[in-house]
Amino acid sequence: MFIPLLFAVVLGQIQVAAAPTPVPNPKPDLSAMAYLTGTWTCHQMLRGRDRPDTSSSTMALNDRWIKTTDVAPPFDPYRTAPVNTTTYTTYDVSVKRYVQVGIDDFGGYTLAYSPGWTGNTLVWTDKSAPNGAVTITTIMKVSDSEYNWNSKGTMASGKPQQPQHGTCKKS
């Protein structure tokens, strides 16, 4: 009688650990943005001079983001240091739009949104400036290895920003 009682006491004190509940953790579908991965050489006219830059994009952070590293060298007497920018792009399924977060080594930042490609056109809207400025950048796919972009917007005062445009070619 003692042995069954001992087993009952010992087994009564053993607690079975509950199996962990898996947390859904799906990866965003970034296949529509795969076009932008790789290394691109870009040019734009700024203050009457050609401003080159090199942009390299790869999958990052467990393939949940596209990381773009952009380097624009000094190009005129006003900009005597390179501008280094890192931008992350993902898809937010909860609001059904792409999100882009960028920072640079001059203290700048961006937070832009896009519904995605419409044909060969991709539009990003950046309303991140705390002063109310808005910038809209449109990317137009020319071929598998070239795109053009245009940027326009308004400053906090409501005054139009200086439009910018450029061309990028895949290296």
Of the listed ranges 2-11, 21-30, 115-124, 158-167, the one predicted with least confidence: 2-11
Of the listed ranges 43-57, 96-110, 112-126, the one predicted with least confidence: 43-57
Q: What is the mean pLDDT of the chain?
A: 87
Confidence of residue 12 (pLDDT cuts 50, 70, 90): low
Beta strands 164-170 and 38-46: pairing type? antiparallel
> For residues 55 and 168, is the Cβ–Cβ distance under 8 A?
yes
Confidence of residue 86 (pLDDT cuts 50, 70, 90): very high
CATH at residue 159: 2.40.128.20
Indicate if the pLDDT at residue 124 is higher than 60.
Answer: yes
> For residues 152 and 141, is the Cβ–Cβ distance under 8 A?
no
Which of these, 141, 158, 152, 120, lies nearest to 40 by C-alpha position?
141
Residue-number span of the structural domain to which 57 is assigned: 27-170
CA–CA separation, 39 and 49 (whole Å): 23
Task: Give the pTM.
Answer: 0.81
Indicate if the pLDDT at residue 59 is higher than 80.
Answer: yes
Specify if 19 maps to a domain.
no
Specify if 42 maps to a domain.
yes
Token pair 């467990």 in the structure block, residue: 62
Specify if 3 maps to a domain.
no
Specify if 129 maps to a domain.
yes
Specify if 1 maps to a domain.
no
**Over residues 129-145, mean pLDDT:** 90
Specify if 123 maps to a domain.
yes
Specify if 84 maps to a domain.
yes
- The H or E element containing residue 82 is none
Specify if 22 maps to a domain.
no
Which of these, 122, 126, 113, lies nearest to 154 by C-alpha position?
126
Domains in the chain, number:
1
